[in-house]
Structure 1
Amino acid sequence: MKNFPNAFVIIIAAVMFAWVLTYVVPQGSYERFTDPDTGITSVVSDSYQETEGKHLSAFEVMLTIPKGIADRANIIVLILLLGGCFYVIEKTGALSQGLNKLVKVLKGREVLSLFAVTLLFTAAGASIGMQEEVIAMMPVLIIFGKSMGFNIYTTVYMSYGSTVLGSAFSPSNPFGVIIAQQEAGVSLLSGSIFRLVVTGIAFLIWMLYLVRYNAKHQTEKMEASDTQEKMSLSSKIILTLLCLTFVVVLYGLLKLDWGFIEMSASFFVLGIVSGLLGKLGINGTGEAYIDGFKEMIFAAIIIGLANSISMVLQEGMIIDSIVYGLFGPLQYVSASLSGVLMMVAHVILHIPIPSYSGQAILTMPILVPLSDLIGISRQTCVLAYQYGAITADMFVPTNGALMAILAVSGIPYNKWLQFAWKPTALLLLLGALAIVVSVFTGYV
């Protein structure tokens, strides 16, 4: 795995490969029309025609790199400010103190503690797409797990695994479903009731699996240290403000037509207030924010670079040709099978593109017109993306957060695969069933 290309190299290579494709794939386009009532642009079925256009020069391809990043400025700002906010909160000690408090309250109640922590991290994944933030919390989580008699696999799955579950099946993950819905041209947070039902079923399956696994693999309990830091008043206030911010952001998205800018401002204010309450001081809060930016900048740039791939395909006039080529095989299978195959394709594609936000930006311009042509709703197209791409974070070796957590936990990657494939397969099967239901019910 040490010689495996990193995400930056992979995306740049994909940009170059996309450029080569513009000389290989015939140029063409579909006719499009815009619904005056909804403002949604759709393709006209059977309107594809090959065309002759200008091929991109090497310099024009290089221009798509800064253009792709600049075009995703709102999303990049959200990622940086949200990441900075959580880094500040972690620096105050509020997250660690909250977890230590949980250890004391739930000590001796293994199943209840497993449920509580799993629910907490599932909610974090569903609301903000938490993954990388778990890395800094792993030392505390390992201590918590040992005090409850959990083996290391149970500890990683109830924390990191639960964030993946929440992110994949979330109705409101800003880095997943909201970006995909924006790219698909559907209302933000629309179709949430169906997603919530599937989320509940996924969480139930997840909990049953973890409880059953933990019952068979209990380890000797380690006595927790009596010197654990008590939760301070400032930490209680910070964690309360964190919960309130989630409520405010969700209300803004649902009722006030908020977008990424408003979300970014909310978490920026939360980070500043948390730093001051946590006695980091003005300079300390600023330095913590800067450190948080450093942690998130790579993920932010990857999103922009992934957008550059789409730009090359668009400016090279071959995106519609790719859609036309994909439509040929799918027209011979049912709509429900097509939806499931989309999900499987997203799982495979997530190996070279570990940023699921970047994957949404790259694939939605291709798969949304395709779904229009084969009779799958755009909401179902988004489901196929989120259930496939984000669930793949359970095992893809190009996911930096997963690999870092395995390193901290001392779990070899091959051993993780042996453990992870069964519950991951269960979640993908549930996703496939949800897609079939959405096709038959006309989910929009």
Structure 2
Amino acid sequence: MKVKFPSAYTILFLLIALVAAGTWVVPAGKYERIENVALGKEVPVPGTYQQVDANPQGIVDIFLAPIAGFYDPDTYQAAAIDVALFVLIIGGFLGVVTKTGAIDTGISRAMVDLKGHEQWMIPILMALFAAGGSTYGMAEESLAFYALLIPVMIAAGYDSVVAVAIILLGAGIGCLGSTINPFATVIAANAADIPFTQGIGLRFFILIAGWLACVVYVMRYAAKVKKDPTLSIVADHRVEIETQFRQEPNADDEHLLSLSQKLVLVIFALTFAVMIWGVSSQGWWMAKMGGLFIFSAILIGVITRMGEKVFTDVFINGARDLLGVAIIIGIARGIVVVMDAGNMTDTILHFGEETLSGLSDVVFINVMFGLEVLMSFFVPSSSGLAVLTMPIMAPLADFAGVGRELVVTAFQSANGLVNLFNPTFAVVMGALAIGKVPYERWLRFIWPLLLILTLIIMGSLSIMALVA
């Protein structure tokens, strides 16, 4: 009997129960707090921890925790409801953009135009997928492109691994080097109580350096396979794969971007640009960002003459696709609710202060990166991991004298790195299944690249910790 790994929902709910049990045995304690003007909130004062009366959490508290994760039922103060609502709006916006076919057609057009020069499709397409990962966390949406790209790569003399790598590594490196990804960077920064634009320069560097490493790595493998097909890691399945996917791309008008589709792509890019401007200089947050994406979705619907019925159906279906992410946010923050109510959070911070206080800035941030790598195996969801770990990890940075933006970058880099090969991540397993690439061979293919990316990430974090 095959044992299935539990979903992120089950893992997070079990963690709520585990933390609730911990409030019965872990000493309760509190730090004194002072107002941090830069952050606009109270932060714990190192060295002021004291034990307080315990407030153990019971079964009722466990089931109320996810609700309180969205909002405080006693004071009706928002907790994660604003972030969850923004995620649903993003889902609706992406549903409308996808319905127009602008992104699919653009990629199809690029493949037709580059016929005979397919090697240049590797950096171009990986850049496009990386942009999607960095801006809106492209992951599940990428699964639709495998059947489109695999035949092209096989016709070019490569194998299905090249196609899988272009999409999976392209979108993955974008998530690893997220700049404005609302499901990783924005949620993590929100949980860490800092603007998500803080630290964007370092994340952009990791994105470019990681993309370049992936491009060189995949192009070298592709050239090797084209020269000698027996060197393919799926050489023994090559006939089977080619029989299933062998076809030539059609170079007809269906690959031409219409005027409305070009406008959709412009609006898509401008929406994220305006969001960055609003957050960085106008003090925007979830409400205004959500309003921006609603406006852009409606504008795209009008330009493409989508019609009211089609538009509302597509928007709602897009939001429904990300409903799971929104629920995860509430469940994950429920863990923090139980910890806070049980006076356990500051005790954990105190343990972290004592454990990490003697470490240098460089060692601290790299240990933080390692902890996030470990957690990512159990919680592959970037949004779930962000809300789970950031409220604890970010304050530890205050004790160590390290900027919270470095902790956010360490989190998303670790999560993005692990999700390039994580067997608990549905996107990885789905992509490999479509490309008929056995998981153990994917590991054999990717492990040297993982080492390279790890060195890039740890080196970047170390340098920033030194100069900050």
Provide the TM-score with structure 2 as the length reference: 0.88
Task: Show the 5 A alignment for 1:419-438.
Answer: 419-438=445-464
Q: Structure 1, unaligned stretches of length 5 or more?
A: none
Matches within 5 A, 1:115-130: 115-130=123-138
Contact 2:199 2:409 in 1 (8 A): no
Residue identity opposite 2:201 in structure 1: I
Q: Given the superposition, is the C-alpha separation of residues 261 and 141 from structure 1 closer, same or farther in structure 2, using an over 3 Å criterion? A: farther
Counterpart of 1:376 in 2: which secondary structure? coil
Unaligned 5+ residue runs, structure 2? 72-78, 230-241
Which of 189, 194, 199 does residue 202 from structure 2 map onto? 194
Matched, 1:224 2:249: yes
Q: Deviation at 1:240?
A: 2.4
In the aligned structure 2, how far is the partner of 1:344 from the partner of 1:43? Answer: 24
Match of 1:284 in 2: 310
Structure 1 residues 406, 266: CA separation in 2 closer, same or farther (over 3 Å shift)? farther
Question: 1:63 & 1:211 partners in 2: Cα distance?
Answer: 51
1:18 equivalent to 2:19? Answer yes
Is 1:314 the counterpart of 2:340 in the alignment?
A: yes
1:143–1:288 Cα change, 3 Å: farther
Give the corresponding residue for 2:283: 257
Matched, 1:43 2:52: no
From 66, 83, 86, the counterpart of 1:75: 83
2:10 aligned partner: 9
Q: How does 1:300-311 map to 2 (within 5 A)?
A: 300-311=326-337
Q: 2:416 aligns to what SS in structure 1? A: helix
Task: Say whether 1:338 aligns with 2:364.
Answer: yes
Q: 1:167 to 1:34 in 2, by over 3 A?
A: same
Change (3 A) 1:2 1:249: farther
Q: 2:223 aligns with which of 211, 215, 229?
A: 215
| Sequence identity (%) | 29
Higher deviation after alignment, 97-106 or 153-162: 153-162
Are 1:100 and 1:228, in contact at CA under 8 Å, matched by a contact in 2? no
Q: Is the 8 A contact 2:66 2:332 kept in 1?
A: no
2:383 counterpart SS class: helix
- Deviation, structure 1 residue 291: 2.0
Partner of 2:147, secondary structure, is helix
Corresponding letter in the other structure for 1:65: P
Give the conservation status (yes or no) of the 8 Å contact 1:181–1:379. Answer: yes
CA separation in 2, counterparts of 1:290 and 1:103? 32
RMSD: 2.2
Give the Å deviation of 1:225: 2.8
Give the conservation status (yes or no) of the 8 Å contact 2:191–2:386: yes
Match of 2:296 in 1: 270
Give the AA of the match of 2:93.
Answer: C
After TM superposition, the structure 1 stretch with the greater mean CA deviation from structure 2, 128-137 or 399-408, is 399-408
Alpha carbons of structure 1 residues 93 and 383: separation in structure 2 relative to 1, 3 Å: closer
Cα distance in structure 2, aligned partners of 1:410 and 1:84:
32
Residue 383 (structure 1) aligns with: 409
Change in Cα spacing, 1:95 to 1:367, as seen in structure 2 (3 Å) is same
- In the TM superposition, residue 332 of structure 1 has moved relative to its aligned partner by 4.2
SS in 2 for 1:33: strand
**Structure 2 CA distance for aligned equivalents of residues 75 and 190 of structure 1:** 18
After the TM superposition, which segments of 4 or more aligned residues of structure 1 sit over 6 Å from their partners? none
SS of alignment partner, residue 47 of structure 2? coil
2:75 corresponds to: none
Q: TM-score, normalised by structure 1?
A: 0.92
Q: 1:382 to 1:118 in 2, by over 3 A?
A: same
Q: Give 1:353 shift.
A: 1.3
Residue 278 of structure 2 aligns to a residue in which SS? helix
The answer as to whether partners of 1:86 and 1:133 remain within 8 angstroms in 2 is no
Q: Secondary structure of the residue that 2:183 maps to in structure 1?
A: coil
Deviations along 1:36-67, whole A, 9 cap, x unmatched?
46524332111111211322232122111112
Query: Which of 294, 315, 318 is the equivalent residue of 2:320?
Result: 294
| Other structure's SS at 1:23 match | coil
Say which SS state the counterpart of residue 322 (structure 2) adopts.
helix
User: What is the match of residue 162 of structure 2?
Assistant: 154
2:232 is matched with which residue?
Answer: none
- Partner AA of 1:23 in structure 2: W
Does 1:363 pair with 2:371? no
Q: Does 1:240 align with 2:266?
A: yes
- Alpha carbons 1:170, 1:196 under 8 Å: kept: yes
The answer as to 2:433 corresponding to 1:407 is yes
Structure 1 position 276, deviation (Å): 4.4
Count residues in correspondence: 442
| Structure 1 residues 115-138: Cα deviation after superposition (integer angstroms, max 9, x where no partner) | 111111111111122112112233
Offset, 1:166: 1.5
3-state SS, counterpart of residue 339 of structure 1: helix
Per-residue deviation, residues 323-350 of structure 1 (Å, max 9, x unmatched): 2223333344333112111111101101
**Corresponding residue to 2:193 among 185, 188, 192:** 185
Q: Which amino acid aligns with 1:131?
A: A
Residues of 1 paired with 2:99 and 2:254: CA distance?
A: 14
Structure 1 counterpart of 2:4, one-letter code: N
Q: Structure 1 residue 146: deviation in Å?
A: 3.2
Matched residues in 2 for 1:161 and 1:182: separation? Answer: 27
Letter in 2 for 1:224: P
Q: Contact 1:84–1:290 at 8 Å: present in 2 too?
A: yes
* Greater Cα offset, 205-214 or 176-185: 176-185
Moved more, 205-214 or 187-196: 187-196
Q: 2:149, 2:163 within 8 Å by CA — same for their partners in 1?
A: yes
For residue 279 of structure 1, report the CA deviation from its aligned partner. Answer: 4.7
